[in-house]
Amino acid sequence: MAIQTLPFSTLISIERTSATPVFRQLAGAIITLISNGKIKPGHQLPSTREMAGLIKLNRTTVVAAYDELSAQGWLEVDGRKGMFVSKRLPVVGPQSFKSANHSTSDGSGEKDFYRQISFGRPPRHEVKPFHLMINDGYPDHRIAPLNSIFNRYKTLFTKNHLQGPLLTGNPAGSLSLRTELAGFLSKTRGLNIDSENLLVTAGAQLAIYIAASMVLKAGSTVIVADLNYILADKLFEQLGAKLLKVKVDEHGIDVDAIEEICSRSRPDLLYIIPHHHHPTTVTLSAERRMKLLDIISRYQLPVIEDDYDYDFHYNNSPVLPLASADHNGYVLYVGSISKNLAPSIRMGYLVGSVDFVKQASRLKQLIDIRGDVLYEESIAHLFSTGEMQRHLRRSVKLYRQRRNRFCELLKASLGNLVQFTVPQGGMAVWITFPEDYSISELSDRLYEKGIYMNDGSIFRYSDTVNGIRLGFASLNDAEMETFAHALAQVR
Amino acid sequence: MAIQTLPFSTLISIERTSATPVFRQLAGAIITLISNGKIKPGHQLPSTREMAGLIKLNRTTVVAAYDELSAQGWLEVDGRKGMFVSKRLPVVGPQSFKSANHSTSDGSGEKDFYRQISFGRPPRHEVKPFHLMINDGYPDHRIAPLNSIFNRYKTLFTKNHLQGPLLTGNPAGSLSLRTELAGFLSKTRGLNIDSENLLVTAGAQLAIYIAASMVLKAGSTVIVADLNYILADKLFEQLGAKLLKVKVDEHGIDVDAIEEICSRSRPDLLYIIPHHHHPTTVTLSAERRMKLLDIISRYQLPVIEDDYDYDFHYNNSPVLPLASADHNGYVLYVGSISKNLAPSIRMGYLVGSVDFVKQASRLKQLIDIRGDVLYEESIAHLFSTGEMQRHLRRSVKLYRQRRNRFCELLKASLGNLVQFTVPQGGMAVWITFPEDYSISELSDRLYEKGIYMNDGSIFRYSDTVNGIRLGFASLNDAEMETFAHALAQVR
């Protein structure tokens, strides 16, 4: 069976009329393949029997060629395992994928046929291991009901005739999941929607990307908060839009500034995170919310409402999303299931009018055809059995305790060095340092102790704010204490 | 715990100074919530104790309000489960997401703030169940090593300190998977690449989308085969590009026609499926491949080489991909892992120069942040243990038998009605019918027998070809015979 070997019969051509013996021709051809990197040091060659079959030569000829190559040091025998290209040979680097005109590191590669994208988390700390990670707001995967999801998945996977019907379904995603989500979102957020208003995506980011792609084109304008979730800003720019930045304070985004912009010239989009704004964790006040709904209605302003964290509020009275009010379909609502379970599980959703969702589903099909429908069905099962709801109740209770404990510990270990407000919800605390304090150096000192903490540089594109998000939800008591202890030592 | 109920304290306001008794005010507020669809028929209300806590009223007041509502028929008690909104009430449809200006079904919704996308598989056959699906070329998920993947996933998931390091890694995807894939692609296709040349995506479609988004902008031109994989055509158009269509015959795409186009004005991209072209399954001949490589080099023509089916060839001598030759990074190579395992498992990859992959990874981050890294690591484990390779060997052997048997059965049941060539590889047979034969009606007749067969209308945008792809790889002998028997009856 030749499937996992190169197609040697097309790579090796033997001239039977040549003066060179066939076994030497074969050996020469193999040397060429090794020299130009087609076969690499350490790779196994087919057995003499297999090779003889592949290239239609007598087996003794192949034996002779392999012997010759072994003698020359190109090949070596590894016990009974077979014949390998010598590991001592230098690896020949990729030639085929070596660009002719190397673009210099950033931005200046104008001669290339593809875009340069001026964005990226800095690649530091990639190699060295660490024992504790302080993320910017992940759930604790250790309490997620993974076994329930996988058991359901296996059941669905092995049902003979099930995959077909699921795969021919709606590109908006599993009907069961959309139905369960519609009920869940109606009950918890008053959205009052049906399955037809829902598009399931591989994470909230894809939901934002699809929504923005549906609305924006080159030259469009988008109102965003300053500061804002940076991956949203960058994707709007990537789609050719111009950002109009509006300040955010302790009551949320400055709604009067939004109105002023609209009164001059209606923007194409407003992107807003009303609950536990990213990065600052502030929540839009009820008063501003009402004002904003009025602006949306008067100016027919399309909105992406990113409500990734709604399920995690620790007070009794969350303000309802904008999307639950009357808005004639202008509010596109984005949520995350990843945030309910574990960061590695990629699932989110987009809510809009029935026609919007129909169009957006077509775009989704062009982007990734569909998600893993069986996974979606398995998550739907979590909702229909009530396990998701129980999991969320447990999570909220646990994260509330962790938020309280984490804030106490921060106060104790950093004292007056930082400022922060205890967040009403979400999974992270936003702390700010004095302007001249280097969070990056703090991060380096923590890293020496095996603690990885993002240095916040990704959010620091406003020169006036020196802040960082510290996720508490994924840390148990011992981990919080380890972190706090290290902070106190290296601050 | 109020997490899964509406935030009643913000929705219900009680005027203590009002002449209306508080319990009547509460009842009235709940009627309003039911009437405007915020609480739906069949939904459960919080218990009187919970509700009293939520809205800070005396519990007896809540009991009085609930009694009043029950008497009026708004609520009903379901045994010991609690208080529910009466199921006999009419469901109030979504108001918030009802667009003000309803766009008519297709294309004419100019007044809307979002795009209309003129594409979609027809939604027929969505509701009625069927017992056999003839797809257009899926692997047989029943032989996929799902347990190995899930067992590995669970191990990784429960390791305390592992998720952090994985999640902070390269946005191009799991390093283990990229390393394993680089070795596998080098060994099987002679690509001679490293992990840095690889970007892992949620399926081959996303790899094509990302590659195209990196290269194309509004007004770009793309050479495509006619016929072509329709989701590629549609996504290029969606990105604003113009399609330049070139005929495909039994030796693959017409390379002379490509040269002619290039000699007039260099296009921005060539999209090609050299092995088992979609939909026609033809393979690019060795001679045309050489010519095409020369054209790519002379005109510096960027190429997306979609090689989704490479691992499934049933002859001994596959032609190597274009990407394995020298091309100075102009060939972007796309492959599928979904095709190796199961259609529900969404995984693919994109290969390019190191700088291209770096830039494309940034774009990927804006689209979906990252894939499920633990899933990627679990697939990597399949490669490193050799289980994937063994699975592929078994699959190829099985699918070769199925191809042979399926073609025999087609011949027997359809005879001279159709034309087809036994495909050298891949998972589907491309059959063509006489011009006046209605495949759509054939599909309807099969559907009456519980067999779902795509009617091919999705590929029939060239008026001269009346063809359809019939996938054989996912059908066992009994299923093939059921299908052939039905075909013979209803043809």
A427-466 tens-digit pLDDT: 999 999 998 999 989 999 999 999 999 887 776 666 678 9
Domain of B212, CATH number, reads 3.40.640.10
Kindly state whether residues B424 and B345 are assigned to the same domain.
no
Kindly state whether residues A48 and A180 are assigned to the same domain.
no
Nearest to A100 among B95, B184, B329 (CB): B329
Task: Find how far residue A491's CA is from the centre of its chain.
Answer: 31
Kindly state whether residues B173 and B316 are assigned to the same domain.
yes
Average pLDDT for B46-52: 91
Nearest to A206 among B100, B142, B367 (CB): B367
Backbone torsions φ then ψ of A141, nearest 5 degrees: -65, -20
Kindly state whether residues A305 and A446 are assigned to the same domain.
no
d(CA A281, CA A250) in angstroms, rounded, equals: 9
A104 → chain B, closest CA residue: B355
The residue among B389, B414, B448 that closes a domain is B389
Contact A241, A221 (CB under 8 A): yes
Strands B303-306 and B331-336: parallel
Q: Does residue A105 surpass a pLDDT of 60?
A: no
- Residue A90 falls inside a structural domain: no
Average pLDDT for B49-61: 91
Asked if A329 lies within 8 A of B100 by C-beta distance, the reply is yes
* Model confidence pLDDT, tens digit, residues B307-316: 999 999 897 6
Q: Report the candidate in B193, B487, B328, B176 with the shortest Cα–Cα distance to residue A99.
A: B328
- A374 part of contact set with chain B, CB < 8 Å: yes
Say what the ipTM of the complex is: 0.86
Mean pLDDT, chain B, whole residue set: 88
- B41 part of contact set with chain A, CB < 8 Å: no
Q: How many CB atoms lie within 10 A of CB B337?
A: 25
Least confident of A224-228, A352-356, A399-403, B166-170: B166-170
Kindly state whether residues B384 and B409 are assigned to the same domain.
no
Q: Report the candidate in A364, A390, A354 with the shortest Cα–Cα distance to residue A195.
A: A354
- B81 part of contact set with chain A, CB < 8 Å: no
- Residue B1 falls inside a structural domain: no
Q: Report the candidate in A261, A268, A272, A172 with the shortest Cα–Cα distance to residue A215.
A: A268
Segment of A26-35, A103-112, B136-145 carrying the highest mean pLDDT:
B136-145
The residue among B342, B370, B389 that closes a domain is B389
Least confident of A463-467, A477-481, B363-367: A463-467
What is the 8-class DSSP label of residue A25?
Answer: H
- Residue A119 falls inside a structural domain: no
**What distance in Å separates residue A213's CA from the closest CA in chain B?**
9
Contact B212, B235 (CB under 8 A): yes
Asked if A300 lies within 8 A of B113 by C-beta distance, the reply is yes
What is the 8-class DSSP label of residue A47?
Answer: P
Kindly state whether residues B382 and B447 are assigned to the same domain.
no
Give the pLDDT score at A392: 95
Kindly state whether residues B313 and B406 are assigned to the same domain.
no
Give the pLDDT score at A76: 87
pLDDT band at B377 (very low <50, low <70, confident <90, very high): very high
Domain of A467, CATH number, reads 3.90.1150.10
**Residue A290: C-alpha distances to residues A28, A48, A193, A323, A354 (Å):** 79, 79, 21, 12, 25
Q: Does residue B160 surpass a pLDDT of 80?
A: no
Kindly state whether residues B264 and B156 are assigned to the same domain.
yes
- Residue B335 falls inside a structural domain: yes
Task: Find how far residue A289's CA is from the centre of its chain.
Answer: 30
Count CA within 13 A, CB hemisphere, residue A261.
Answer: 22
Furthest-apart CA atoms within chain B: distance in Å: 92
pLDDT band at B24 (very low <50, low <70, confident <90, very high): confident
What is the number of structural domains in chain B?
Answer: 3
Average pLDDT for A65-76: 84
Segment of A158-172, B35-49, B121-135, B256-270 carrying the highest mean pLDDT:
B256-270
Give the pLDDT score at B348: 98
Domain of B13, CATH number, reads 1.10.10.10
The residues, any chain, with a CB within 8 Å of residue A112's CB and separated by 6 or more, are: A99, A101, A103, B355, B356
**What distance in Å separates residue B265's CA from the closest CA in chain A?**
15
Residue with the larger pLDDT of the pair A242 and A160: A242
Q: Does residue A269 surpass a pLDDT of 60?
A: yes
Kindly state whether residues B373 and B405 are assigned to the same domain.
no
Asked if B94 lies within 8 A of A362 by C-beta distance, the reply is no
The residues, any chain, with a CB within 8 Å of residue A478's CB and separated by 6 or more, are: none
Q: How many CB atoms lie within 10 A of CB B455?
A: 21
Q: Report the candidate in B193, B428, B237 with the shortest Cα–Cα distance to residue B333.
A: B193
Q: Is B217 helix (H, G, I), strand (E, B) or coil?
A: coil
Domain that holds residue B325: 145-389
Give the pLDDT score at B104: 44
Q: Is B345 helix (H, G, I), strand (E, B) or coil?
A: coil
Kindly state whether residues B468 and B358 are assigned to the same domain.
no
Give the pLDDT score at B12: 87
Q: Does residue A489 surpass a pLDDT of 60?
A: yes
- Residue B223 falls inside a structural domain: yes
- A367 part of contact set with chain B, CB < 8 Å: yes
- A394 part of contact set with chain B, CB < 8 Å: no
Give the pLDDT score at A109: 42
Residue with the larger pLDDT of the pair A290 and A258: A258
d(CA B184, CA A403) in angstroms, rounded, equals: 46
Q: Does residue A99 surpass a pLDDT of 80?
A: no
- Residue A162 falls inside a structural domain: yes
Give the pLDDT score at B94: 59
Kindly state whether residues B175 and B268 are assigned to the same domain.
yes
- Residue B323 falls inside a structural domain: yes
Q: Does residue A34 surpass a pLDDT of 60?
A: yes
- Burial classification of residue B260, based on how many CB atoms lie within 10 Å of its CB (0-12 exposed, 13-18 middle, 19 or more buried): exposed
* Model confidence pLDDT, tens digit, residues B441-467: 999 999 999 999 988 777 666 667 899
How is B68-132 classified by DSSP, letter by letter? Answer: HHHHHTSEEEETTTEEEE-TTSPPPPPSTT--SSPPPSSS--TTSSS---------TTSSS--SE
d(CA B119, CA A359) in angstroms, rounded, equals: 9
Contact A270, A241 (CB under 8 A): no
Q: Report the candidate in A284, A295, A205, A224 with the shortest Cα–Cα distance to residue A462.
A: A224
Q: How many CB atoms lie within 10 A of CB B242?
A: 14
The residue among A354, A389, A424 that closes a domain is A389
Average pLDDT for A343-366: 94
- Residue B290 falls inside a structural domain: yes
Radius of gyration of chain A (CA): 29
Kindly state whether residues B366 and B443 are assigned to the same domain.
no
